[in-house]
Homo-oligomer: A and B are copies of this chain.
Amino acid sequence: MMPSSQEAPSGLAGHAGDRLCAAIDRVSSPTCVGLDPVLEKLPADLGAVDGSDESVINAMESFSLGILDAIAGHVGVVKFQSACYERHGAAGVALLGRLVKAAGERDLASILDAKRGDIGISASHYAATGRLMGSDWMTINGWLGEDGISPFLQDGAGAFVLVRTSNPSSAQLQSLQLKDGRSVAEGMADLVTELGARHVGERGYSTLGAVVGATHPEELAGFRDRMPGVFMLLPGYGAQGGTAESLSPAFDANGMGAIVTASRSVIYAFHDQAGDWKTSVTTAAIEFSEAIGTVAGFRS
């Protein structure tokens, strides 16, 4: 069961931007592992899933906890793909709550990748759901403007707005050209920067961040300049393409300002390998962390 509305979220005092910088400092690498498990890809040694709801939830939980154990200490942040858990109904939502808590116990900051976007009381409800789970950050959709963004920033919580996404059809809307010469995505970036400026923490970054696909490396320098004080979440590293070196324009002089997310290339690293699956995941997480840590200037 998730925490009730009477309990305070644990371990989330302060400013999400400062917490994110601290999580990066702990492992000397601005890296995040995306946890988006689907049943068909889980390791065989989790036991045969008999198709019952209970066996499905058990397999998802064993795998997810195994990933958290395998990556802890090597990357600082985990991003939970909410859909993969919500897909399994109420029991999946309860599992997600347990996993966010488990991440915190392993010193992993967490991002709830829920891509929520609503206004007023509904937005507050979604924000409260994330906070009650104990999640540091949530991904949100900025289509509704400030009404759909500000509710997610209460009490120091963080939100990454989808600015320029990594998927193939992202250009259909995001790359349309505005009359003033900006792209629609740049229009969103400017809105994020403006709203985020009210929420900057001690480390110089806001609790309002931006999702910018690692699949568009040629645009990273432009977005970095355009959004001072805005942390960029860069998904699409590894399986979706994108090299470590191509991401260097995303970081500031201190290696901060961006966090790179790898999902399938880490959590399914065991697929073409013999031996214990968690060992394969740990090895992949270390390689990922090392590559990005070097590009960002934490390591040489």
Enumerate chain B residues within 8 angstroms of A30, measured Cβ to Cβ.
none
Q: Does A105 contact B (CB under 8 A)?
A: no
CB within 8 Å for A169 and B187 given contacts A87-B129, A178-B178: no
Q: Are A169 and B143 in contact (CB under 8 A)?
A: no
Q: Are A97 and B93 in contact (CB under 8 A)?
A: no
Q: Are B141 and A169 in contact (CB under 8 A)?
A: no
Per the 8 Å Cβ criterion, residues 1-54 of A in contact with B are 1-6, 36, 38, 51-53
Partner of A53, one of B4, B36, B121, B191: B4
Minimal Cβ-Cβ distance residue in B for A166? B119
Enumerate chain B residues within 8 angstroms of A242, measured Cβ to Cβ.
none
Q: Does A81 contact B (CB under 8 A)?
A: yes
Enumerate chain B residues within 8 angstroms of A143, measured Cβ to Cβ.
141-143, 162, 165, 173-174
Q: How far is the CB of A27 from chain B (nearest CB, A)?
A: 26
Enumerate chain B residues within 8 angstroms of A2, measured Cβ to Cβ.
89-90
Partner of A36, one of B87, B88, B121: B121
Enumerate chain B residues within 8 angstroms of A129, measured Cβ to Cβ.
83, 86-87, 89
Partner of A177, one of B3, B6, B52, B179: B179
Question: CA separation between A173 and B129, bound complex, in Å?
Answer: 26
Q: Are A167 and B179 in contact (CB under 8 A)?
A: no
Minimal Cβ-Cβ distance residue in B for A172? B145
Binding site for B on A (CB under 8 A): 1-6, 36, 38, 51-53, 56, 81, 83-84, 86-91, 93-94, 97, 115-123, 125-126, 128-129, 132, 141-148, 162, 165, 167-174, 176-180, 184, 187-188, 191
